[in-house]
Amino acid sequence: MSLNDTNPFEAAMRQLDLVAEELSLDKKIVEVLKHPNRVVITSLPVKMDDGTIKVFTGYRVQYSRHRGPYKGGIRYHPNVNLDEVKALAAWMTWKCAVADIPYGGSKGGITCNPKEMSSAELERLTRRYTSSIVRDIGPFKDIPAPDIYTDSQTMAWLLDTYSEFQGYAVPGVVTGKPISVGGSEGRAGATGRGAALCTREAARHLGIDMNGATVAIQGYGKVGRSVAQVLREMGCIIIAISDSKGGIFNQNGLDPVKVLEHKKRTGSVVDFKDSTYVANKDLLELDCDILIPAALENVLTEENAPRIKVKIISEGANGPTTPEAGAILHKKGVMMIPDILANCGGVTVSYFEWAQNLNRLHWTLDEVNQKLEQKIVKAFNDVLEISTKRNISMRLAAYVLGVSRVAEALGVLGLFP
Ligand code: NAD
């Protein structure tokens, strides 16, 4: 999906209309699916380090609880607004259904610029936000997780504040928290691992040998770096990697671990030894087998789509392909693995984390990775089957799968009263 559309929620609803048409969905069900169940908007006064008070706006949109408790990340960003949070909450609903995990969908956000705030200010903001939604979240109600510019530390503050209100520790109220307070092994790299597993399944379907397949990766954050490492373990040759400062290229392959060490040392992948510079826009058009956009929205557009040469695109990022580019690439025969499938590994391991918390268990990394692989392979093949049977794109097929599962739940639950 494209977040650059003037109104992301309207874009999400246009997508829902397409799916409803494909599925000949009952209009009454579509009407319910077009509305978030609950929207919380809250003013958050925070004492800043210089003694002034700033009032931020926070949101929590609880879209659907038809398949289970609400589940969705919390984003801190200057562009956060109600329509964006509503759209993201709808997409979380379909994503959890595609992954076939027992959750509905939600999303939260605070309009703020975390890059201009101290850690102490972010902590006060997070605790105030938590206190204002304390009655709305909970391990059986709505389980937040990290998203853009929030991380395991943010989740630890949220967990601590929520537990303080309850009077006892409630680790299952958030996922993506540090392992020391109930986080799961493998959560940090789960999104990238899921995207790599989807890529392997796509290659298998297309008869492409992963051993020696060439890969370009845009973005070397949490998703990009883990997808690189897992694809390399699968035998792929990572020929290009980029971050916000630019990209690096070596036809014979880059070592993902060494590139990460270089980035940690210097702040960027650029100037890594034995590599030449490649601009971000050129990286997308490289002659290779697999492309992983793992940074920004709307990088594959109507303009550059005709020049894309890869056979498989696995959308680690949310919304990297505009609808127009998606249509061009589908026509060209590129196997597009859409975001709600390609990056559902993160929420899948979040589900494992929650299940461990509720059962007071701690699984090993091997157990987590094995269970993740089973879930991802199943989700990929479910979507592929729909795409083949209905002769529709993998993207539409993923939405068909997600929306039809939610609609089915809604159908049997019925309406109250
Ligand atoms: P991150 O902040 O850890 O990393 C983002 C990376 O993108 C960084 O390396 C940054 O330098 C790079 N980048 C920024 N601007 C760029 C530009 N103009 N060109 C190239 N690279 C640029 O974020 P992340 O968690 O890795 O998330 C990346 C994408 O994946 C986002 O769209 C996010 O919504 C999506 N996603 C993440 C998760 C998760 O579990 N982390 C789950 C689902 C989806």
Size (the chain), residues = 417
Q: How far apart are CA 299 and CA 242, in angstroms?
A: 13
pLDDT confidence of residue 2:
43
pLDDT confidence of residue 7:
85
Ligand 1 touching residue 218 (CB < 6 A): yes
**Token pair for 243:** 């971050």
**CA of 69 relative to ligand 1 center, distance in Å:** 27
Q: How far apart are CA 100 and CA 78, in angstroms?
A: 32
Ligand 1 touching residue 381 (CB < 6 A): no
- For residue 347, how many other CB atoms are within 10 A of its CB? 26
Ligand 1 touching residue 242 (CB < 6 A): yes
Q: How far apart are CA 142 and CA 307, in angstroms?
A: 43
Q: Which domains does the chain have, with CATH numbers?
A: 36-172 (3.40.50.10860), 190-342 (3.40.50.720)
Token pair 């991802």: residue: 376
- Cα–Cα distances in Å, from 15 out to 60, 68, 341? 22, 23, 16
pLDDT confidence of residue 6:
63
Burial of 376 (0-12, 13-18, 19+ CB in 10 A): buried
**CA of 224 relative to ligand 1 center, distance in Å:** 7
Nearest-atom number in ligand 1 for the CA of 263 is: 9
pLDDT confidence of residue 70:
98
Q: What angle do CA 401, 405, 408 make, to 5 degrees?
A: 135
102-125 tens-digit pLDDT: 999 999 999 999 999 999 999 999
**Token pair for 322:** 């505009």
| Sheet arrangement for strand 53-64 | 38-47, 53-64, 105-111, 70-77, 142-146
Burial of 211 (0-12, 13-18, 19+ CB in 10 A): exposed
Stretches where the chain sits below pLDDT 50 are: 1-5
* Cis omega (within 30 of 0) for bond into 178: no
Q: Which of 71, 107, 222, 375 is catalytic?
A: 107
Residue nearest to atom 17 of ligand 1 (CA): 244
Residue nearest to atom 18 of ligand 1 (CA): 244
Ligand 1 touching residue 350 (CB < 6 A): no
Determine contact, residues 108/38, Cβ cutoff 8 Å. no
Q: How far apart are CA 215 and CA 234, in angstroms?
A: 12
Nearest-atom number in ligand 1 for the CA of 247 is: 20
- Cα–Cα distances in Å, from 162 out to 55, 58, 103, 132, 171? 21, 16, 20, 10, 9
Ligand 1 touching residue 321 (CB < 6 A): no
Ligand 1 touching residue 5 (CB < 6 A): no
State whether residue 270 is helix, strand or coil. Answer: coil
Ligand 1 touching residue 191 (CB < 6 A): yes
pLDDT confidence of residue 411:
94
Alpha carbon 378 to chain centroid, angstroms: 18
**CA of 316 relative to ligand 1 center, distance in Å:** 8
Residue nearest to atom 13 of ligand 1 (CA): 244
DSSP states of 115-184: GGS-HHHHHHHHHHHHHHTTTT-BTTTEEEEE-TT--HHHHHHHHHHHHHHHTS--GGG-SS--GGGTPP
Ligand 1 touching residue 59 (CB < 6 A): no
Residue nearest to atom 4 of ligand 1 (CA): 221
pLDDT confidence of residue 229:
98
Would residue 107 show up in a list of annotated catalytic residues for this protein? yes
